[in-house]
Amino acid sequence: MRNVEKYSRGYFMPPVKSLKWTEKEYITEAPTWCSVDLRDGNQALVVPMSLEEKLEYFQLLLEVGFKEIEVGFPAASETEFQFLRTLIEQDLIPEDVTVQVLTQSREAIIKKTFEALEGVNKAVVHLYNSTSVAQREQVFKKSNEEIIDIAVTGAKLLKKYAAETQGNFQFQYSPESFTGTEMEFALEVCNTVLDIWQPTADNKVIINLPATVSMSMPHVYASQIEFMGDHLNYRDNVILSLHPHNDRGTGVADAELGLLAGAQRVEGTLFGNGERTGNVDIVTLALNMYSHGVNPHLNFENIREIREKYEELTKMNVHERHPYGGDLVFTAFSGSHQDAIAKGMKWREDEERQYWTVPYLLIDPKDIGREYEGDIIRINSQSGKGGIGYLLQQHYGLDMPAKMRENFGYKVKDESDKMHKEIMPNEIYDIFNKEYVNISAPLAFNNYRPTQGDHYETIVSIRIDNEVHEFTGVGNGRLDAISNVLQTQLEIQYKDLVYKEHALEIGSKSNAVSYVGITAMDGTVYWGCGIDPDIMTSSVKALFSAVNNMVTTLNAPIGKGFSLNKRR
């Protein structure tokens, strides 16, 4: 690409080695979660939410289980102000939930913010000012000392107005654009603010270190977080918080490594809504922990309903491939994937296992409200026999022999290829019925009855060219006797009869299902299926279906004196 020389790395490494986080394997406990959907997320919408929509979204966040929710920037607009007043005056904030509000370091804005907070049970007041080199030089045109003065002024004003306002308040400070700030300067600003607030064990302060713009690889952010955590004043009384954005597509990784580096709290949004490429996605973060056996203390057991409500209120769309919540994230179209998933699911049915280990599925879709039948295996021209057979078994109770699944798989894939579309389960079932079930042309099975002769001597009635004929056969069983009639008296040549039967578990429980495969003299295997209340009759119908498929395909003659005027 052209102009690469105009870019350079804009972040700053810690002045000392900060790599203890690399010794940790995974996140062992959930952080404190703070939703910023109603502030950071809302301000990024093409059309910000109305008061009524924000109230509905607030309720959604409570249902998910958030205990800290940033509800807005009360001094920014009348809607923001009234939203907070409505929450307080209508007593809509549960006792165990803390609301958070954002304010710049300007007295008029801070004063308005505390007016909006009057009477709140508990609130975090979030003070911020930009500290990066780019902001200092280009936006504020201020020295380091002047930037610190902005933070100091705001910190003192928060103490002043909190003392004059009814309510319980916790303070939070963010050196906004932290990732573009020299680490020593970011530390100096934060410690100066902490010296003013003087946090205690009973009144802790939140220091939030945002990747306002993601500027580095995640391991750099983790080292920055570790350095700050190691050198902050009053560390035992400070809650170290993260606020990653997703400019480089690494928001989740930034947060996860930041937690390994000592952070205790994460600010983010559902499905990653936010300015530019968005905030870190709390859904993904929480369920990543869940997949490691760590309780995230957020409830996504009905993720489809959460996503629908999110899309309704924000007018944003969750991508089909979005982790956990997207329509297709648990879906396998590939034949090899489908086969492995189907076998894994069957293995779980047959074995008592504590841990979820199904191939290709990170978590059990049912744990977050997804369905095996509609979400996991879907069929197109790339699909295979395992997935197609799995769907027929799950939806219709048909458990084909393995070789028959392969034969049927090709038929379904060919149909999908011709139609250039996904094949739905009901369409798969229709194809199965058309190709295999109770095929009655050119040979139509009427009935059979045993004779008074040898033990397995059987009379079978067959309609050929609209005429009914009776034949007597002998074999080592009823099905073998009827098969001998077809082979010897009707001179239909095949070998290696394969047979399987089972009760139909879905639909009519009074029906039996039989599958028969026969091998033509050229080595090709033909299959048929019979369905009937009587298990023996279903097996005969399956045999006739297989024979009819072979005779029709090969245009084979049927004995002496019989024509094939009527083909199916």
- How buried is residue 437: exposed, middle or buried, by Cβ count under 10 Å (0-12/13-18/19+)? middle
**In 105-150, where do the E strands start and end?**
120-130
**Burial class of residue 117 (count of CB atoms within 10 Å of its CB; 0-12, 13-18, 19+):** buried
Report which secondary-structure segment, H or E, holds 445.
Answer: strand 443-450
Burial of 300 from C-beta contacts in 10 A (0-12 / 13-18 / 19+): buried
The annotation status of 465 as a binding-site residue, yes or no, is no
The overall longest dimension of the chain from CA atoms, in Å, is: 112
Residue recorded with tokens 């080695």: 17
Between CA 339 and CA 388 the distance in angstroms is: 9
Whether 40 has a binding-site annotation, put simply, is yes
SS3 542: helix
Closest CA to 395 of 423, 415, 353: 423
Q: Is residue 10 classed as helix, strand or coil in its secondary structure?
A: coil
Is 420 a known ligand-binding residue?
Answer: no
323 upstream amide cis, omega within 30 of 0: no
Residue 245, annotated as binding a ligand: yes
Which string of DSSP letters, residue by residue, matches 470-528? EEEE--SSHHHHHHHIIIIIS----EEEEEEEEE--SS-TT-EEEEEEEE-TTS-EEEE
Give residues with Cβ within 8 angstroms of 207, minimum separation 6: 172, 173, 174, 190, 194, 228, 232, 238, 239, 240, 241
| Cβ–Cβ under 8 Å, residues 39 and 71 | yes
> d(Cα 147, Cα 182) in Å, to the nearest integer?
13
For 32, counting Cβ atoms within 10 Å of its Cβ (0-12 exposed, 13-18 middle, 19+ buried), the class is middle
Residues annotated in the binding site for Mg(2+), as ranges? 40, 243, 245, 279
Residues annotated in the binding site, as ranges? 40, 243, 245, 279
